[in-house]
Amino acid sequence: MASIGATLVLHTWGSALTHHPHVHGIVPGGGLSPDGGRWVACKPGFFLSVRVLSRLFRRRFLEALGQLHRAGRLRFFGEFAALADANAFAAWLAPLRKCEWVVYAKRPFAGPEAVLAYLSRYTHRVAISNSRLVAMDEQGVTFRWKDYRAKGRTRRKTMTLDADEFMRRFLLHVLPGGFHRIRHYGLLANGNRTANLARIRELLGQEADAVTQIASLDAEPCHPPPTFVCMHCGAAMIVLLTLARGQPIRAPPPQVRAP
């Protein structure tokens, strides 16, 4: 028996900006014993049975969904309005209890540093980057996307959507205010993560560098300020003041004299 932990990052979109909510996660291959005196490692070459995990996830997810429906916390619109009825909702859920759900787990072949680097790419990413945008004209917005059902060179394709549809798909992935995309559980929960990681490093005789990167996954990335060019003279504009998001304007920016 051991206390385990997990770090999960929510990802809501597919390559074509469709609604595809799922999470990417890291789960340590073991945990702390109940008394905190030893590290309990998983069996070599085995961590979780994917079949058992998928069925457990299916049951827990559908149970939670049913609880939300009974509490009146689900809203249905348009063609799904009839699901507000308890019997209709139960009938709609019934086939989902029988089909297989997809859960994928594998060990980190390139080591923990590579796994953390992979997961960190999802922490502050938006639904589509500028590099994937091809054109915007009277036909609509054209962008590159990856068809994962295809193989080889045919996997990479372009798609053109009406501007309204493109914005609709993009806005599907704007999270509500205060919603946390990154969540830590168990050993990695924010309240006791520092003490737990210190104890685990002590038991395993490990340095802090590789492990404590987990704590920085939800930190804001540091980027150099962009360079803006004056539309009149073409010279680089000087940043006088940067206002942090959510901070009131306390005073006019200081006067800066040209050299």
- pLDDT tens for residues 104-147? 777 666 777 787 787 777 777 889 989 999 999 999 999 999 99
- pLDDT tens for residues 61-108? 999 999 999 999 998 988 899 999 999 999 999 999 999 888 877 766
- pLDDT tens for residues 13-63? 999 999 998 888 888 888 999 888 899 988 776 667 788 889 999 999 999
- Write down the pTM of the prediction: 0.66
Looking at residue 170, its pLDDT comes to 94
Residue 166: burial class (beta carbons within 10 Å; 0-12, 13-18, 19+):
buried
Q: Angle at the Cα of 35 (from 1 to 45), degrees rounded to 5?
A: 35
pLDDT of 11 strictly over 60: yes
Looking at residue 12, its pLDDT comes to 92
Please count the residues of the chain.
259
Looking at residue 245, its pLDDT comes to 56
Compute the distance between CA of residue 96 and CA of residue 98 in angstroms, rounded to an integer: 5
Looking at residue 120, its pLDDT comes to 78
pLDDT of 176 strictly over 80: yes
Looking at residue 184, its pLDDT comes to 93
Confidence of residue 248 (pLDDT cuts 50, 70, 90): very low
If you search the block for the tokens 């942090």, which residue do you land on? Answer: 244
- The answer to whether the CB of 240 falls within 8 A of the CB of 254 is yes
Looking at residue 205, its pLDDT comes to 84
SS3 string, the chain, reads CCECEEEEEEEEECCCCCEEEEEEEECCCEEECCCCCCEEECCCCCCCCHHHHHHHHHHHHHHHHHHHHHCCCCCCCHHHHHHHCHHHHHHHHHHHHCCCCCCCCCCCCCCHHHHHHHHHCCCCCCCCCHHHEEEEECCEEEEEEECCCCCHHHHEEEEEECHHHHHHHHHCCCCCCCCCCEEEEECCCCCCHHHHHHHHHHHHCCCCCCCHHHHHCCCCCCCCCCCCECCCCCCECCCCCCCCCCCCCCCCCCCCCCC
pLDDT of 249 strictly over 50: no
Looking at residue 52, its pLDDT comes to 87
Structural tokens at position 224: 């150099």
- pLDDT tens for residues 193-244? 889 989 998 998 876 654 455 555 555 444 444 555 666 676 666 767 666 6
Looking at residue 255, its pLDDT comes to 52
